[in-house]
Amino acid sequence: MNLRHIAAGAALALALPLAACGGSDDSGSGAWTYTDDVGTELSLDAAPERIVAHKDVAVALADMGLGDQVVATFGAPANSDPDLGLQSENLDLEEVEDVTGGGDYGDIDLERLAGLEPDLIITSTFGDDTLWYINDEVAGKLEGSYDIAVLNYEGETVESVLDNAERLATALGAEEADFEEGRTALADVNERLATVASEAGDPSILAVAPSADLLYVANTPAYIDLIHLRDEVGLDLMTPDESDLDEGGYWHNLSWENADFYDPDIAMWDSRGGEANRDMLEDQPVWNGVTAAEEDAYVPWRVETAPSALGYATTFGQFADDLEEIS
């Protein structure tokens, strides 16, 4: 698994317009057509009722009133520290069938999948024609046997993600009223975050992902949650120079000897490895010279977020709580 697989998940861009007028058959019967983000035209005899989805998408569907249609999920194992992982009050992932295979990254248990007889599989892409948590070998076996809707993360914003997620949910049978709670909660938490940051003196924030050999510093424009926090909320997100970025444009890769290249007021650490990631930062002597480390100003970067308004409201609300705690 490369770092792009490790790091991509910060956000979903669910741009799935319907092929004709933007909605499926109003009567709930008859053929269902859909054109996904990569241009695949899906055509089913009826609207999908049995969906297998990547965990993030499954939670988003449940947030928008479609949890009963999710028959299974797949994806990375649950976070070792559940409070830092994917959050949902509407879908208990432990109670839903998991068809993730036991092999390498992107493996799916095809026998268990077949037994569920799904109408539709939903995953996502971060570009380069790769499917999120479906490796090339598995993708080849799925092709021709299952309809797969691919959601694009690349080049989107939180707002466009939510608009398109709601179009997808509407096509699958959700009502506009199913989105209202999340939209209201997200608007409220945006205001709260701006207030918390202002009261804390508008600190500079650096999003990082530690590893054994390198410190990866996130490129803000590559992650829609960071873009939102910077552009819509007004937080001071530090951003690497373009000339310092890796080939994918996601990170500035620093050796631990150069871990003090940036001097943020607050370190926003990638929580997908659980508290062990924060521990890794705290064990590095050069890093411990930056302001955030000296002030013990750490907040989790909860990358695992459902692409629904309620999902982002939950994640950003937790971020506001974390900021308040260290301010």
* Domain ranges within the chain, ordered by starting residue: 3-181, 195-326
For the chain, residues with pLDDT lower than 70 are: 1-29
DSSP notation for 267-313: EEEEGGGTHHHHHHHHT-TTGGGSHHHHTT-EEEE-----SSHHHHH
pLDDT in tens, 236-258: 999 999 999 999 999 999 999 99
Amino acid 115 reads G
Average pLDDT, the chain: 89
Output DSSP code: residue 131: B
- pLDDT of amino acid 36: 83
- Exposure on the CB side of residue 135, measured as CA atoms within 13 A: 15
pLDDT per position as a tens digit, 101-113:
999 999 999 999 9
Would you state the pLDDT for residue 28? 52
| The CATH number fitting domain 195-326, selected from 3.40.50.1820, 2.60.40.1190, 3.40.50.1980, 3.90.550.10 | 3.40.50.1980
Instruction: Output the six-digit token pair for 162.
Output: 């939510």
Instruction: For domain 3-181, give the CATH superfamily.
Output: Nitrogenase molybdenum iron protein domain (3.40.50.1980)
pLDDT, position 27:
37
Cα(112)–Cα(138) distance, integer angstroms: 14
Task: Please state the φ and ψ torsions of residue 78, each to the nearest 5 degrees.
Answer: -60, 150
* Beta-strand pair 214-218/204-210: antiparallel
